[in-house]
Amino acid sequence: MTKILLSQPVLHPMAKLQRQVQSLVDSKVLKPTDRLWKIALLYGDEWSHWKKELEDFEFTMQDPISDLLMVESWEEENL
C-alpha cells in the first residue's frame, strides 16, 4: 500500500525568523519601532548568521523591526 503525503511548502529561513520576531513583538519583548540590532541581544551566537541574512536582503541594523515584519515574500531571485 502506498501512502500519499501532502507536501507542505518549505518555509524560507527568513520567514521563520520573521515569525519568531513577530512572536516577540506580540509578547511585548520587542517593539515594532525597535531597531533590528536589538534582535542580537536575544539571538546570541546565532546573530552573526541572521545579521548576514538581513544584510543580504538590504536591511541595515538601524532599520525598525516593523520593516522586517512587513515583508510579504522572501524571494531571492535578485540576489
45-58, pLDDT tens digit by residue? 999 999 999 999 99
Find the Cα–Cα–Cα–Cα dihedral 27, 17, 56, 67, rounded to 10°: -30
- pLDDT reading at 14 higher than 90: yes
Q: Is the pTM for the entire model greater than 0.85?
A: no
**Torsion sign over Cα 18, 21, 26, 31:** negative
Residue from 54, 77, 76 nearest 65 by CA: 54
- In angstroms, the CA 28 to CA 25 distance is 5
